[in-house]
Each structure stands twice: as C-alpha cells, then as structure tokens.
Amino acid sequence: MELIYSLAIGVFFACGVWLLLRPRTFQVILGLALLSYATNLFIFAMGRLTLDRPPLIDPNVVADASLYDDPIPQALVLTAIVIGFATTALFLVMLIASRGFTGTDHVDGVEKGE
C-alpha cells in the first residue's frame, strides 16, 4: 500500500505542477486543487498508514498512542482542507474579476503578442 500511496501522491503532484505552469487561469486553479490534494495526502502520510485505528478514544481501554492513528497530522490536514477551500474560492473570484477587467483569462492579464 505504501508504494501505491507514494505513486498516487507523485501523480497528483506532477499533474498539479503541469497545470500550474499553464497559461490559462482555469488550468491553474485546477492545478492548485490537485497540488493541495497531493500535499494533504503527503502531510497525512507523516503519521504513517494505519488501518482500522481511527483516533477515537475507547474509554474502556487505557489511552495509548499506539492504539490510534497519529491525530496530529489529521488535525493539521483538516485545517489545510478548509483553508484550501477558502483560497480556491478567493482565487476563483480573482480569476473572474481579472477576466472582467482585462478581457482575457491569461494568467498575466494580457494575451501573448499583444
């Protein structure tokens, strides 16, 4: 599973970088979405991959960290997901506004050769 997981991060990241370098704003916004998936998965992986051990405490068992998946990366990723949503929304509006003001959806606000 670790191998698949790593490859998955790699594919998402590569596609994200590719889209990030494209000239159209919509491509960049999708690229950012893919990049944030990859990054969140990567951060989440810092707690290593564990099966069937969600960080929900069973009061009948003595609290021991080895019984649960590492909750700290999870908390960090949860924050990151929400903030990522906010920045995507902001970027989308910037994109629409830039399109309205400049008449183009090129990332630099001008078409090449103009």
Partner 1 sequence: MTLYLILILPFVGALGAALLRANARNVEAWLAGLVALSCAAILATFYPDMVAGRVVKVAVDWLPQYGLTFGLRLDGFAWMFAMMVTVIGALVVVYARYYMSPADPVPRFFSFLLAFMGSMLGVVLSGNLIQLVMFWELTSFTSFVLIAYWYHRTDARAGARMALTVTAAGGMCLLASVLMMGHIAGSYDLDQVIAAADAIRASELYPWILSLALLGAFTKSAQFPFHFWLPRAMAAPTPVSAYLHSATMVKAGVFLLARLWPVLSGTDLWFAIVCSAGLASLLVGAYAATFQRDMKGVLAYSTISHLGLITLLLGMNSTLALVAAVFHMLNHATFKASLFMAAGIVDHETGTRDLKRLGGLYHAMPITATLALVAAAAMAGVPLLNGFLSKEMFFAETIFAGEELWLRITLPATATLAGMFSVAYSARFIRQVFFGTAPGELPRTPHEPTRWMLLPSAMLVLACLLVGMLPGRTVGPVLDLATRAILSDGRVPKYSLAVWHGLNLPLLMSAAAFVGGLAIHAWLTRLGHPEGVLAPLFRRFDGKRAFTIVQIRMIRAAGALVRLLSSSRLQTQLALIIVAVIAAAMVATLGELNFDASTALTQIDPAFALLWLVGAACAVGAALQAKFHRLAALIMVGCAGLVTSLTFAWFSAPDLALTQVSVEVVTTVLLLLGLRWMPKRMPLELQNRDSVRARARRIRDATLAVVAGIGMAVLAYVVLTKPAGPGIRDFIVRNTLPGGGGHNIVNVILVDFRGFDTFGEITVLGIVALTIYKLLRRFRPAPEVVTNSADKRDPARELPDPRDPVPKGAMLVPAIIGRLLLPMAGVVSIFFLLRGHNAPGGGFVGGLVMATGFIAQYLVNGTLWVESRLRIHPQYWIGGGLLCAAGAGCLAWFASLPFMSAIVWEPKLPLLGKLHLSSVLVFDLGVYLLVVGTTTLMLIALAHQSLRSHRRAGETEDMTSVRMVR
Subset of 92-111 contacting partner 1 (CB under 8 A): 92-97, 99-100, 103-105, 107-108
Which two structure tokens, joined as six digits, stand for 35? Answer: 């990049």
- Backbone φ and ψ for 16, nearest 5 degrees, come out as -65, -45
Contact set for partner 1, span 6-25 (CB under 8 A): 6-24
Name which of 56 and 114 has its Cβ closer to partner 1.
56
Based on the shown chain and the rule CB under 8 A, indicate whether residue 4 belongs to the binding site for partner 1: yes
> In whole angstroms, what is the distance from residue 68 CA to residue 107 CA?
45
Least distance in Å: CB of 76 to partner 1? Answer: 9
Q: How far apart are CA 105 and CA 6, in angstroms?
A: 34
